[in-house]
Amino acid sequence: MNETLKVLETRRSCRKFKPDMVEKEKLDAILKAGTYSATGMGKQSPIIIAVTNKELRDAISEENRKIGGWKEDFDPFYGAPVILIVLADKSVPTYIYDGSLVMGNLMNAAESLGVANIWIHRAKQEFESDFGKQILAKLGIEGDYEGIGHCALGYAAGPANEAAPRKANYVYHVD
Domain positions in the chain are 22-154
Contacts of 104 (CB under 8 A, 6+ apart): 37
Q: Is the CB of residue 20 less than 8 Å from the CB of residue 155?
A: yes
Q: Strand, helix or coil at 118?
A: strand
DSSP codes of every residue in 20-82: PPPPHHHHHHHHHHHHTS--GGG---EEEEEE--HHHHHHHHHHHHHHHT--TT--TTTT-SE
Say whether pTM exceeds 0.85: yes
* Contact residues for 38 (Cβ-Cβ < 8 A; gap 6+): 98, 101
Q: How confident is the model at residue 25 (pLDDT cuts 50, 70, 90)?
A: very high
Rounded distance, CA 156 to CA 117, Å?
A: 8
C-alpha torsion sign, points 87, 92, 96, 102 = negative
Q: 77, 57 in Cβ contact below 8 A?
A: yes
Average pLDDT over residues 54-74: 98
DSSP 164: P
Question: What is the average pLDDT across 41-49?
Answer: 98
Own/partner long-range contacts of 125-132 (Cβ < 8 Å, ≥24 apart)? 125/67, 126/60, 126/63, 126/64, 126/67, 127/87, 129/63, 131/59, 131/63, 132/63
Please state the rounded mean pLDDT for residues 20-34.
Answer: 98
d(CA 32, CA 121): 22
Residue 1 pLDDT > 90 = no
- Please state the φ and ψ torsions of residue 12, each to the nearest 5 degrees: -135, 150
Q: Each residue of 76-132: pLDDT tens digit?
A: 999 999 999 999 999 999 999 999 999 999 999 999 999 999 999 999 999 999 999
CATH fold, domain 22-154, is: NADH Oxidase (3.40.109)
67 touches 125 (CB < 8 A): yes
